[in-house]
A and B are shown apart, each in its own frame.
Chain A
Amino acid sequence: MSVRAEASGAQGRARRIGRLEPAALAAVMSRDVVIFGRYWKATTFSSIVQPTIYLLAFGLGFGTLVKTIGHVKTIEYIATGTVATAVLFSSAFPGMFNTFIRWQFQRTYDAMLATPLDVEELITAEILWISLRAGVYGLAPLIVGLAFGLQPEWGMLLVPAIGFLTGFGFAAFGVLVAAIAKTIDNFNYITSAVLTPMFLVAGTFFPVSALPAGVRQVAQVNPLYHCVQLVRDASLGTLHLGDLGHAGVLLAFALLMWRLAIWQLGRRLID
């Protein structure tokens, strides 16, 4: 079998070369789709079961003790708060682990960067895929909540978009951590010291107003707090102008993490 050189391909290959080409992003994501196709049951299970357990435990458990939290029914409060945890865990963890594994152990990224793909496209595509999934998985707690008395609202249709935006920031954050970590064990520090406090100090299960003043300030800079406020307002039909501020914080977080992730992982992918 011989392989012929396509010298005449010159005309066909005079295509536009640019940054963040859709074809390149689609190619990287197509790989993710194939892998997802193989493991979707496990991935979906792990992304949905944990938040659902929290929802059921806190919702039903506290629901009997406490009928409302603030102005909101307990089940509504908890269900909307759990959306944020579902988004957080289905974006930060894949961001950290998938990146590290593909980069260090499988050298998948090395293989792909030998094609007409640049570092920015590769990392952006990986983050995009994780965010899309996170947006969808964020709906799971709402669906469970609907079964337990949560009232359907048109605003709930915004939740995947909010989940996508939040997930983008946290996926990029995960990539950044993977780039900087020396070994995969270092992720434990981030999980315990950053992610766990983050999902507790965000108004997920209890209002931050219940916490001491210093901790309340922390909540203001916690992107997850803003995600929770947005999801809650959208799902309960109480959207107001202030929510634009929350969306703004999420957007800024996403953009900042995105550039940092590309910068740090890029430096390590190219010698």
Chain B
Amino acid sequence: MAAGIEQRAGARVDVDTPAISLRGVVKRFGAIVAVDGLQLEVPTGVCFGLLGPNGAGKSTTMRMLTAQALADEGEIEVLGYRLPAESKQSRMEMGVVPQLDNLDVELTCRQILTVFARLYRVPASERGTAVQRALELANLVGRADTIVRELSGGMRRRLLVARGLIHQPRLVLLDEPTVGLDPQVRQELWSLIDGLRAGGVTVLMSTHYIEEAERLADVVAVMSHGKIVAQGTPAELVRAHAGEQVIEVYGPPEQLAQLGELAAAKGWQSRRSGPALAIMHAETLDGEAPEGVRRPASLEDAFVALTGEEIE
């Protein structure tokens, strides 16, 4: 990444300027407060995971970053540009991979990529190369002239990603990139996202899959009910909110329920984890801890401790 300061059409950008900055952002839809005083900063060059259950406000946040939703309160800056006034400039340098498939079913892969290359103002002389590169990235060279309607779900998702990267943006927003995909396609997309990080692109990825956040993100912010409730590297979050070890106690549901009440009374953090009750910060409980299996604490434990939501 270039060091120092770049001057560009009114925006001063240096590597200390965060790629994304949201301060006190509020967004309401009628009586529902989707985003409730959001405070978030994504440093340049980082893969930033926005982890939260469905309904946490992640998609609304993504829409505000492209100015397709307007904040009711607060300030938003993307790549040094103030939103929504300078949103168009920011979108020149930003790629978006949405959650819902909004591909043109009537067009071929090549046609879609060409249209978007034009929308992103890729110069005419470079368009052909850009389209070819995108097709290679998405592993769709053999399907370049196939209509989208005839592609499989995984291919469509890869095309969706390639479409957002056609102009080689500095910042990419991925909204739930692997939801609904089978494991193989998920792995392919994960390598692609890893490749982005290696190339120095800043990535903001929203997800409700713990494993995805753990694997790909350098920094994870846990979002719940429209706010960030915790932020840090996956390891920091685990240590802070679930400790180092967890004791899993197995037993019949009534026994676990009783144990859960006991734990709450003693101020222990616990959660149901399938057929077991997991008690966190187990390393601090020596002597008092019930019988059970010890295992290392995971991001999933931390997530449930923070949001109170069960993972699917």
Which A residues contact B (CB, under 8 angstroms)?
1-11, 13-15, 17, 23-24, 26-28, 30-31, 34-35, 38, 106-108, 110-118, 269-271
Contacts and interface: CB of A to CB of B under 8 A. Distances in A.
5 contacts: A5-B202, A13-B92, A13-B93, A27-B118, A111-B103
B102 A5 contact: no
A108 B102 contact: yes
A156 B1 CA distance: 61
B107 interface: yes
B199 interface: yes
B32 interface: no
Nearest to B92: A116
B89 A17 contact: yes
A17 B118 CA distance: 15
Contacts of B92: 13, 15, 17, 116
Contacts of B168: 3-6, 9
B8 A14 contact: yes
A34 B107 contact: yes
Interface string B105-119: 111000100111011
A271 B104 contact: no
B119 A3 contact: no
B200 A118 contact: no
Nearest to A32: B115
Nearest to A113: B68
Interface residues of B, number: 52
B115 A30 contact: yes
Contacts of B66: 113-114
Contacts, number: 126
Contact of A111 (B1, B2, B70, B102): B102
A23 B123 CA distance: 10
B102 A110 contact: yes
B201 interface: yes
Contacts of B107: 31, 34-35
B136 interface: yes
A5 B115 contact: no
Q: Which 8 A-B pairs have CB atoms at the shortest separation, nearest pair first? A: A27-B118, A107-B102, A271-B69, A115-B119, A114-B96, A111-B102, A2-B195, A7-B2
Given A10-B6, A110-B102, A271-B63, 4 more contacts: A7-B200, A17-B9, A27-B121, A114-B66
Contacts of B96: 114
B200 to A, nearest CB: 4
Contacts of A28: 119
Contacts of A4: 168, 199-200
Interface in B186-241: 192, 195-196, 198-202
A115 B170 contact: no
Contacts of B169: 5
B303 interface: no
B67 interface: yes
B170 A5 contact: yes
Contact of B106 (A6, A35, A111): A35
Interface in B147-168: 163-165, 168
B118 A6 contact: no
A110 B199 contact: no
A151 B252 CA distance: 95
Given A3-B165, A5-B200, A30-B115, A110 B68 contact: yes
Nearest to A1: B137
A108 to B, nearest CB: 6
A48 to B, nearest CB: 22
A8 B170 CA distance: 10
A115 B102 CA distance: 13
A106 B107 CA distance: 12
Interface string B1-17: 11000111100010000
A108 B160 CA distance: 12
Interface in B63-118: 63, 66-70, 88-89, 91-93, 96, 98, 100, 102-107, 111, 114-116, 118
